Amino acid sequence: MLVLAAWPCVACGREDGATPLAFGTAGSAQNPCFAPDDDRVLFTHFRTAYNEGPADLVVGTLATSAARTLVADGNDNINLPGAAWNDATGRIVFTSSRPPHDEVFAIDDEGAPGDEWPVTGREGLMAFEPSLSPDGTRVVFESHVEPAEGTPDDPEDLAAGPGAIAIVNVDEGRPAGAADVVFVTDGTFDDRQPNWSPAGDLVVFQRRDDDGTHLWVADPDQPGSERPLTSGDEEETDASFSADGLRVVYSGSVEDEERASVFVIDLDGEAPIRVTRSAGYDGAPSFSHDGRSIAFESSDEDPDGSMGTSLFVIDVSEE
């Protein structure tokens, strides 16, 4: 059973026990991802406002609130919550919008701006939202056909085309081309934000179809093996696994409320548990590796069009 800590952050206007993570960065802090030892948090720092670039990758130290810029080149550099930071290799993967179009890049976690290198490099195809396999040898990501000239290139716009879940091997010496890609889903639907399980036997992702946006899981080595994890009237996004691989944390809409909260669901698909409660939006969550905390982004209002979100952490434990 998931038990929530009982110490509210009154100054934050919350009653769910969540407390802010402040690293002294202006703008919008998004997509928190714990370091393998849980002493640091990787996040995307949009300098201007929510989803308004340029965006940098920043590593914040929890004990001191010190922040270190890891990637910054004037483009949008964006990590995915969950399995973007790999324990086996010490590598971090992310998407960068640097020309000619969005691709997956990697950098060592002790690196500095300019040390990153491309993982994918496909003509006419864009790559977003990568995460690493447990051994760090493969990357799963969402693949999109590059929009025709004059159409929106925002992957949240259907004009960019539906996403498909794809996998490539990590080769530091050569970006993966189209022939190196294995597709887990075929792009019939709009599949996005894949996150690898700790055992490497599953990938969780969100699928948008006629029934809305829900979570699915698939065997990364068996194309066409996907099955639904959630269903119903509500919508779910931003999913990733707990360190034991038995649970999935995600951001979900709340019935009769115009906002999203953080939820946890078991892999058996039993009723999800609502983790956060606030007057605004909570999303993009990640479990800590010890399973005791969940970090997430939060805003008092709809984040789209706002000045940005802030990072919070909430304590959770199992009985």
Highest mean pLDDT among 127-141, 161-175, 266-280: 127-141
Report the pLDDT value the prediction gives residue 270, as an integer from 0 to 100: 81
Report the pLDDT value the prediction gives residue 257, as an integer from 0 to 100: 73
- DSSP per-residue letters across 244-284: TSSEEEEEEEETTEEEEEEEEEETT-PPPEE----SSEEEE
pLDDT at residue 127 is higher than 80: yes
Decide if domain 2-318 falls under CATH 3.50.50.60: no
Average pLDDT over residues 95-120: 97
Confidence of residue 305 (pLDDT cuts 50, 70, 90): confident
Q: Are strands 67-71 and 77-78 parallel, antiparallel or unpaired?
A: unpaired
Confidence of residue 105 (pLDDT cuts 50, 70, 90): very high
pLDDT at residue 92 is higher than 70: yes
Average pLDDT over residues 120-143: 97
pLDDT at residue 5 is higher than 70: no
Residue type, 295: A
Residues 220/156/52/311 CA torsion (nearest 10 deg): -50
Residues 41 and 36: their CA atoms lie apart, in Å, by 9
198-230 residue pLDDT tens: 999 999 999 999 889 999 999 999 999 999 999
Let me know how many helices (H) and strands (E) the chain has, helices first: 0, 25
Report the pLDDT value the prediction gives residue 13, as an integer from 0 to 100: 64
223-252 residue pLDDT tens: 999 999 999 888 999 999 999 999 999 999
Residues 105 and 93: their CA atoms lie apart, in Å, by 6
pLDDT at residue 288 is higher than 90: yes
47-74 residue pLDDT tens: 999 999 999 999 999 999 999 999 999 9
Q: Do 5 and 315 touch, CB atoms closer than 8 A?
A: yes
Count of other CB atoms within 10 angstroms of residue 41: 25
pLDDT at residue 119 is higher than 60: yes
Higher pLDDT, 296 or 210: 296
Residue type, 316: V
In 3D, which of 259, 258, 241, 27 has the Cα closest to residue 250? 241
All structural domains of the chain with their residue ranges:
2-318
Higher pLDDT, 160 or 128: 128
pLDDT at residue 6 is higher than 70: no
Say if residue 81 is exposed, middle or buried (CB neighbours under 10 Å; 0-12, 13-18, 19+). buried
Report the pLDDT value the prediction gives residue 150, as an integer from 0 to 100: 60
pLDDT at residue 11 is higher than 80: no
Report the pLDDT value the prediction gives residue 97, as an integer from 0 to 100: 96
pLDDT at residue 278 is higher than 50: yes
The DSSP secondary-structure symbol of 179 reads G
Report the pLDDT value the prediction gives residue 153, as an integer from 0 to 100: 56
pLDDT at residue 28 is higher than 90: yes
Report the pLDDT value the prediction gives residue 76, as an integer from 0 to 100: 98
Residues 96 and 12: their CA atoms lie apart, in Å, by 33
Cβ neighbours of residue 37 under 8 Å, at least 6 residues apart? 289
Q: What are phi and psi of 261, to 5 degrees?
A: -130, 170
pTM of this prediction?
Answer: 0.92
Query: ω before 130 within 30° of 0 (cis)?
Result: no
Residue type, 19: T
Q: What are phi and psi of 239, to 5 degrees?
A: -90, 145
CA 262 vs. chain centroid, Å, equals 13
Average pLDDT over residues 125-132: 97
